[in-house]
Amino acid sequence: MASDDSSPLPTEKTVFQRLEDWGTSSLPPSLLATLVTALHARPLQAVPLFLFTPTLLFSSYLNLSGFTTASAGLTAAWSGLYALLALRRRQGLRAKFSVRGVVRGSAIGLGAANAVAGGWVYMNGDFKKDDERRRERKRWSGE
C-alpha cells in the first residue's frame, strides 16, 4: 500500500538562510566559550581565558535578551579575533592530531564560522526590528 502523505516536503534552506540561523543563535558563542575554556584553563593562560570567554558568554546573554543584531556583531568580532590569534600560534605535526589539537582546530573552525555568520547577520540586521520584537514579547518589565 502506498501512503497518502499529503504534507509537503520540507524545502531545503539556502546558504544565506543557514547563515542567518547560525548568526542569530545563542549557542555558537557559548560553544566557542566552552572550547576556549577547555584550551586555556589548564595550563592557565589568563589573557585568552579571561578576555574571550566572558565576552562570548555575554554575547549569548545579549542574544537571549532579544538583541540579536548586536549579539551577532559582538560574536563576529570576538570570534574572528580569537580565530586569527589562535592561527598565529604554530603547532607541530604530532600535536595537531592529539585530543588538544582537535579541540584547538574545532575552536578555530567554530570561531571562523561564527565570524562569517555573525558578520552576515550584523550586516543585514535591523536594530529597529529587534526592538519591536523585544517589545512584542514583553519579557522584561517596563515599556
The model's pLDDT over 60-85, given as tens digits with 9 standing for 90+, comes to: 999 999 999 999 999 999 999 999 99
Provide DSSP, the chain: ------SPPPPPPPHHHHHHHHHT-SHHHHHHHHHHHHHHTTTT-HHHHHHHHHHHHHHHHHHHHT-HHHHHHHHHHHHHHHHHHHHHS---HHHHTSHHHHHHHHHHHHHHHHHHHHHHHHHH--HHHHHHHHHHHT-SS--
Confidence of residue 122 (pLDDT cuts 50, 70, 90): very high
The predicted structure's pLDDT at residue 60: 97
pTM reported for the whole predicted model: 0.86
pLDDT digits (tens, 9 = 90+) for 8-28: 777 899 999 999 999 999 999
Res 137: pLDDT: 85
